[in-house]
Amino acid sequence: MNVSMIGLGAMGAAMVRNLLGKGVTVTVWNRSRAMVDELAAEGAIPAADVDEALKADIVLSMLAHDQAMREVLVDSGALARAPKGVVHVNLATISTALAGELAALHAELGLGYVASPVFGRPPVAQAGGLNVLAAGAPDAVATAMPVLKMLAAKVWPLGEDPVRASALKLAGNFMIVSAIESMGEAVALGEAYGVPAPELLDMLSSTLFAAPIYKIYGGMIAERRYTPPGFAAELGLKDVRLVLDAAEAKGLSMPLADLAEASLEVLLDGEDQGLDLAALAEIARGRVDGR
């Protein structure tokens, strides 16, 4: 099985390490070279350019946003030059609009396309414990499935329309942001009455909200531990804006998403950059307690 990965940020690199650890030969390409060299030292095969990376049976991509996807694969003409029959598996969070465009473009070019956005942070990705969505033509999904299963604790099939996977991923990320916002506000209320954040969040995330998102992000908020980022706040803002775009396309109003966008803009306008999405709680704390 010939596999490649395009895009070697924290998540992409973690997935490559997982596959290498399972004996898969992985060709890697990234717009900046440092991570390509680092993974090559660990056994990956460096691609000279994106066209070389596309000469694989299964091409995984984990590019940061719509613009990167367009620049690297679409506007560059790379997809148009890819060998017919290649199956491209997009693991990143992109807009519902671009998901539809990519599905149509791949079909036109004779390429397979599977929308497989993932839930999980880099350590989970390296351990092969992600929750992986999968939507696309049945034959393309079947080709990608052995690799997806290596990446995943569970693969969630979503039918043939890649837009559905993109919409579910955006909905999930919106719920993560909303959970962080609510924890930030709850912490501010507790602190105002003398209940320390660690005490409040430990109790609630062990009982009423005993779920991974509350435990993981609750621990970070309690400790005010926001670096290094596992899910960067700037990517969280990108995703919230994609949520709002998707909602607008269907005539929906999402007031919590509006609030999250405004709060993340405040966070990212400050001096602190390179923060995890969990730092959103600090804006909520400040807004509630008046600091």
Please compute the mean of the pLDDT values over residues 26-34 and round it to a whole number: 97
% of the chain exceeding 70 in pLDDT: 98
Q: Where are the alpha helices (DSSP H) in 156-279?
A: 162-192, 197-206, 212-223, 233-249, 255-268
Arithmetic mean of pLDDT over the chain: 96
pLDDT of residue 271: 61
259 has pLDDT over 50: yes
Q: How confident is the model at residue 290 (pLDDT cuts 50, 70, 90)?
A: very low
112 by DSSP, 3-state: which? Answer: strand
157 has pLDDT over 70: yes
> Amino acid identity of 121?
R
Using an 8 Å Cβ cutoff, are 68 and 50 in contact?
no
Q: How confident is the model at residue 289 (pLDDT cuts 50, 70, 90)?
A: very low
Please compute the mean of the pLDDT values over residues 53-57 and round it to a whole number: 97
118 by DSSP, 3-state: which? Answer: strand
pLDDT of residue 224: 95
Catalytic (active site) residue 22:
no
C-alpha span between 220 and 275 (Å, rounded)? 11
**Residues 58-109: pLDDT tens digits?**
999 999 999 999 999 999 999 999 999 999 999 999 999 999 999 999 999 9
For residue 202, the number of C-alpha atoms closer than 13 Å in the C-beta half-sphere is 7
28 by DSSP, 3-state: which? Answer: strand
Tokens of 168: 């579910």
The reply to whether CATH 3.40.50.300 applies to domain 3-160 is: no
For residue 259, the number of C-alpha atoms closer than 13 Å in the C-beta half-sphere is 17
For residue 153, what are the CA distances in angstroms to 66, 75, 89, 181?
Answer: 27, 34, 17, 27
Please compute the mean of the pLDDT values over residues 226-250 and round it to a whole number: 96
% of the chain exceeding 90 in pLDDT: 95
* CATH architecture of the domain formed by 167-289: Orthogonal Bundle (1.10)
pTM across the whole model? 0.94
Q: Please pick, among 22, 149, 169, 215, the residue that the annotation labels catalytic.
A: 169
Which residues share a beta bridge with 157?
Answer: 134
Q: Where are the domains of the chain?
A: 3-160, 167-289
